[in-house]
């Protein structure tokens, strides 16, 4: 067990997900965001396909994102309540920084699409680790907007899918540790 609070292992074991609605400024500067994205792109990638993309949604673009999300929601659910729509507007405006990660598989590649999708998930995790290393907190959200084709189409087109909305900022308060699985329940030795 490492006790060095500056060791790479300590960095990994101290990362916590933050609730985007509880994130405050500052968020990453342009230079810090570039460094975060460079680390996010250093992910396992069988075939060197880069089967993912990062779309940075600027602070001045949040109203437009909220409009895309709420228009898509109302088109799918015309009976949507004001509370539902307001929650989606809030979703688009939370946290100081937002990166939308898209799984962008190459369906004609010999690399199975599943492996390409796993690479996109690994890119999301690398992004969270890089944000933590820069002193920020991240929250990886999906929810209804991630599964809407209309919202996805604002960022790309099929076969791409939204892997996650990666919200980044500064925690408003210290983050609580959440319960972690007992390793005995999730680790076993293969018996052959």
Instruction: Give the pLDDT confidence score for residue 7 in this predicted structure.
Output: 76
Rounded mean pLDDT of 130-152? 97
DSSP, residue by residue, 76-100: H-TT--HHHHHHHHHHHH-SSEEEE
What are the φ/ψ torsions at residue 97 (nearest 5 degrees)? Answer: -135, 150
Instruction: Give the pLDDT confidence score for residue 3 in this predicted structure.
Output: 42
Identify the H or E element spanning 55: strand 52-57
User: Does residue 146 come out as left (phi exceeding 0), alpha (psi in the -120 to 50 range) or beta?
Assistant: alpha
Identify the H or E element spanning 170: strand 161-171
Nearest partner of 23 among 186, 192, 141, judged by Cα: 141
Considering the chain, what is the average pLDDT of its residues? Answer: 94
Which of the four pLDDT bands, split at 50, 70 and 90, describes residue 16?
confident
Which of the four pLDDT bands, split at 50, 70 and 90, describes residue 5?
low
Rounded mean pLDDT of 52-64? 97
Rounded mean pLDDT of 85-89? 98
Strands 137-141 vs 97-103: parallel, antiparallel or unpaired: unpaired
Rounded mean pLDDT of 66-71? 98
The C-alpha atoms of residue 167 and residue 156 are separated, in whole angstroms, by 19
Which of the four pLDDT bands, split at 50, 70 and 90, describes residue 52?
very high
The C-alpha atoms of residue 30 and residue 121 are separated, in whole angstroms, by 23
Domains of the chain with bracketed CATH? 18-173 (3.40.109.10)
The C-alpha atoms of residue 131 and residue 138 are separated, in whole angstroms, by 7
Collapsed DSSP state (helix, strand, coil) of residue 65: helix
- Whole-model pTM: value is 0.92
Instruction: Judge whether residue 1 has pLDDT over 70.
Output: no
Residue recorded with tokens 């210290």:
174
Instruction: Give the pLDDT confidence score for residue 6 in this predicted structure.
Output: 62
Read off the pLDDT of residues 74-86 as tens digits, 9 standing for 90 and up. 999 999 999 999 9
Instruction: Give the pLDDT confidence score for residue 164 in this predicted structure.
Output: 98
Residues in the chain: 192
Cβ count near 183 (within 10 Å): 8
Q: Are 165 and 93 in contact (CB under 8 A)?
A: no
Q: How many alpha carbons lie under 13 Å from residue 171 in its C-beta half-sphere?
A: 17
Q: Are 36 and 28 in contact (CB under 8 A)?
A: yes
């Amino acid at each position: 067990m490492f006790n060095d609070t500056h060791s790479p292992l300590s960095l990994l074991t101290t990362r916590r997900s933050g609730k985007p609605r509880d994130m405050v400024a500052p968020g990453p500067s342009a230079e810090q965001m570039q460094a975060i994205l460079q680390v996010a792109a250093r992910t396992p990638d069988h075939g060197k396909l880069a089967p993912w993309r990062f779309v940075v949604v600027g602070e001045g673009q949040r109203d437009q994102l909220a409009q895309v999300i709420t228009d898509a929601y109302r088109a799918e659910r015309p009976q949507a309540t004001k509370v539902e729509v307001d929650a989606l507007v809030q979703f688009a405006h939370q946290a100081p920084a937002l990166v939308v990660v898209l799984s962008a598989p190459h369906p004609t590649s010999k690399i199975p699409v599943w492996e390409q999708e796993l690479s996109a998930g690994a890119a999301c995790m690398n992004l969270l680790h890089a944000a933590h290393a820069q002193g920020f907190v991240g929250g990886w959200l999906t929810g209804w907007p991630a599964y809407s084709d209309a919202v996805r189409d604002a960022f790309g087109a099929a076969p791409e899918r939204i892997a996650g909305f990666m919200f980044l900022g500064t925690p408003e308060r210290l983050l609580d540790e959440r319960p972690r699985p007992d390793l005995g329940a999730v680790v076993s030795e293969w018996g052959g």
